[in-house]
A and B are shown apart, each in its own frame.
Chain A
Amino acid sequence: MLLNQNQLPILLVLIPLFGAYLAAISVLFKKKINNILSLILLSLSFFLSLLTANHVLTSGDISYHTAGLQPPFAIEIVVDPLSALMTIIITSLSLLTVIYSREFIRKELSDKRESYYYILVLLLTGGLNWFVIAGDIFNMFVGLEILSISSYSLIAIAQNKEAIASAYQYLLMGSIGSSFFLLGTGYLYIMTGTLNFADLAIRIAQLGLFNSEAIFASTAFIVTGLSIKGAIFPLHVWMPDAYSKALAPICALSSGAIIEAAVYALIRITLTVYGIEFITEIVPVKTILLWLAGIAIIIGSLYAISQSNIKRMLAYSSVSQMGYIVMGYGIGTQLGLSAGILHLFNHSIMKACLFFAVGAIAYKTGKTDLYEYEGMGDKMPVTMMFFSLAAISMVGIPPTNGFISKFYLVWASASSTRWIFAAIILVSSLLNAIYFFRIINKAYFGGGHEEASRDEAPYTMLVPIGVLAISCVVFGLAFNIPLSLIEPVAEKLMTLSLII
């Protein structure tokens, strides 16, 4: 075979990034080629990410070094089962986004902007992949910036006045987050002289830096910076504005991959670099995040109930769902961490499906408001069916994947005797039920039957929605597939102890 299996990680980064520049050149010679080109490239990346996951599961973690040097001197890329899972989420969502965008973008954007759109989606995918598989903290920063700049541009590409203003707001907040992350990196570097994750952990332990103020400061800066990117309460304020005005596929991709990747990075850095004891006992990051998550779940759900714009409602729902993920991490047991990451996986499926479905309805009928959804069940039955499936999953009714991860979360909080968080999850499920069943009720039983004539979204849009909605059920039954990728890493992260 021409390509060594060990070359897989670099190709995951290289294909979308390199492809973005290829797309930028090829559009000069042939118009409208970018859709096909990005479809091919992202299918290839998706296939490679599956291969990587398979390789990681069968023969252990991949550590890749560029330029033929050894870490910590070379740029290291580390793929373990968890980052393999993240690349699968990222590449599959961006592939579905490109399929979905074919019809959607043609209607929404001019030809020139359409070609820019696909270039930016490719850049975003490359940046995300780079961000999740980077083995040192500075490369993580570079990936973070690539994905951030392309996501600011993608939110602004809708070109209506609200989208541009909210993209600017997102840009200001997001770049403060990146600056904080860079400053935290600086504090780590000045104390240890290294940037590689594994090396950092070893040096912090060897040099006995657990009581150093600089390390405390670096924790604070990195956690704050990534919390802004990950829309963790109370730093979520950019998200509802940005998502309610952006194009639906971009909302799906950001809500399904970008904020997830930021939370993933938060988990990865705090648990590998600082270690579980440090963030539990010395700097109580976990406890703070746990309580913030508890508040976020309730507040996010209450805000979501009070919205009538559905995209805005889904954005606030994302705030509360990020709370679930962070809560799993904050509980601080191995079970809690696996439950949180499982919910991260499930949330990206459910939320992307919901955003796609809402986008399809807006595409066909132009309706974005809750009170205009009357008779939608007759007008667009297939889309509404998939929407309802994902909504049911969001509420957490078996046999969907939302039920599984919520069940795991309740189990984790109960087994660590934090009953209040188990109660919060149950209450918030009820709140979820209120705002999702309200839509379903309006769509199916809200009247308006007589004027409804069937007018279904095109197939290129139905297929991504359907794939995601069906995977909600599939991963509700076959939840051991993501868990097989999550559990080994959760065990490793939780037992990794370097305080001597």
Chain B
Amino acid sequence: MVNLEFYLQHYNYWISVLLFMIGLYTMIAKKNLIKKFLGLNIVDTSIYLFFISMGDKSKAIAPIIHGEHVDPTHYSNPLPSVLILTAIVVAIGLTATALSLSIRIYEEYGTLNSEKIEELW
């Protein structure tokens, strides 16, 4: 029997999977190069969501020591957030590279449609 409650409790992962699929579909189905890249950004966002939601829990506080002692179980896990911050910085570099490349592609080919670019190759 399918344990429905178990699946409903982890709805954050379902959202992440859904976003991942939407992003992949966009990358494959869309012809416009910028839309393809936006699909990639959606894929990345779904992964960020996956990481962030696995590190968080309800009513948790930021893990910063402010003098008085707090029970460590009240802290949310900081490591996924740190990792995702790094991944976001990396994604910004990637986005800048991709957008500048697409500007150059538009200047050279006069279009951003991937099929037309293949014809003009």
Indicate, yes or no, whether A interacts with B.
yes
- A interface list, Cβ under 8 A from B: 138, 141-142, 145, 149, 152-153, 156, 159, 161-162, 164-165, 167-168, 171-172, 175-176, 179, 182-183, 186, 189-190
Assuming the contacts A156-B104, A165-B105, asked whether A149 and B27 have C-beta atoms less than 8 A apart, the reply is no
A127 to B108 CA separation, bound complex (whole angstroms): 30
Q: A153 and B108: CB pair below 8 A?
A: no
Q: B97 and A153: CB pair below 8 A?
A: yes
Proximity bits, B33-56, A CB within 8 Å = 1, else 0: 100110010011001001100100
Known: A164-B101, A175-B94. 5 other contacts (CB 8 A): A138-B86, A145-B90, A164-B104, A165-B117, A165-B121
- Does B81 touch A at the CB level, under 8 Å? no
Which partner residue on chain B sits nearest A194 by CB separation? B79
B27 contacts across to A, CB distance below 8 A: 172, 176
User: Distance in Å from the Cβ of B96 to the closest Cβ of chain A?
Assistant: 9
Q: A171 and B54: CB pair below 8 A?
A: no
User: Distance in Å from the Cβ of A350 to the closest Cβ of chain B?
Assistant: 30
Q: B86 and A189: CB pair below 8 A?
A: no
Which partner residue on chain B sits nearest A164 by CB separation? B104
User: Distance in Å from the Cβ of A293 to the closest Cβ of chain B?
Assistant: 26
A141 contacts across to B, CB distance below 8 A: 87
Assuming the contacts A142-B90, A145-B90, A171-B101, asked whether A164 and B108 have C-beta atoms less than 8 A apart, the reply is yes
- Indicate which residue in B79, B94, B102 contacts A145 across the interface (CB closer than 8 Å): B94
User: Distance in Å from the Cβ of B37 to the closest Cβ of chain A?
Assistant: 7
A164 to B104 CA separation, bound complex (whole angstroms): 7
- Indicate which residue in A142, A152, A175, A183 contacts B86 across the interface (CB closer than 8 Å): A142
Q: B97 and A176: CB pair below 8 A?
A: no
A179 contacts across to B, CB distance below 8 A: 40, 43-44, 47
SS of A interface (majority): helix
A175 to B43 CA separation, bound complex (whole angstroms): 10
SS of B interface (majority): helix
- Does B67 touch A at the CB level, under 8 Å? no
Q: A162 and B94: CB pair below 8 A?
A: no
Assuming the contacts A149-B94, A182-B47, A183-B47, asked whether A175 and B40 have C-beta atoms less than 8 A apart, the reply is yes
- Does B109 touch A at the CB level, under 8 Å? yes
6 pairs across A/B with beta carbons < 8 Å? A141-B87, A164-B101, A171-B94, A171-B98, A175-B40, A186-B54
A189 contacts across to B, CB distance below 8 A: 51, 54, 79-80
- Does B72 touch A at the CB level, under 8 Å? no
- Count of CB-CB pairs between chains A and B under 8 Å: 71
A183 to B45 CA separation, bound complex (whole angstroms): 11
Q: B101 and A186: CB pair below 8 A?
A: no
Q: A161 and B108: CB pair below 8 A?
A: yes
- Indicate which residue in A149, A162, A186 contacts B50 across the interface (CB closer than 8 Å): A186
Q: B105 and A168: CB pair below 8 A?
A: yes
Q: A172 and B50: CB pair below 8 A?
A: no
Q: B97 and A171: CB pair below 8 A?
A: yes
Q: A176 and B40: CB pair below 8 A?
A: yes
A41 to B102 CA separation, bound complex (whole angstroms): 33
Q: A168 and B43: CB pair below 8 A?
A: no
A189 to B51 CA separation, bound complex (whole angstroms): 9
Q: B101 and A156: CB pair below 8 A?
A: yes
A165 to B104 CA separation, bound complex (whole angstroms): 9
Q: B93 and A149: CB pair below 8 A?
A: yes
Q: B40 and A182: CB pair below 8 A?
A: no
A437 to B50 CA separation, bound complex (whole angstroms): 53
User: Distance in Å from the Cβ of B105 to the closest Cβ of chain A?
Assistant: 6
Q: B50 and A168: CB pair below 8 A?
A: no
- Does B83 touch A at the CB level, under 8 Å? yes
Q: Which residue, A145, A149, A172, A179, has most C-beta atoms of chain B within 10 A?
A: A179
A145 contacts across to B, CB distance below 8 A: 90, 93-94
B109 contacts across to A, CB distance below 8 A: 161, 165
A164 contacts across to B, CB distance below 8 A: 101, 104-105, 108
Q: Which residue, B37, B54, B87, B102, has most C-beta atoms of chain A within 10 A?
A: B87
A186 to B120 CA separation, bound complex (whole angstroms): 40
User: Distance in Å from the Cβ of A169 to the closest Cβ of chain B?
Assistant: 9
A172 contacts across to B, CB distance below 8 A: 27, 36-37, 40, 98
- Indicate which residue in A162, A167, A168, A175 contacts B121 across the interface (CB closer than 8 Å): A162
B104 contacts across to A, CB distance below 8 A: 156, 159, 164
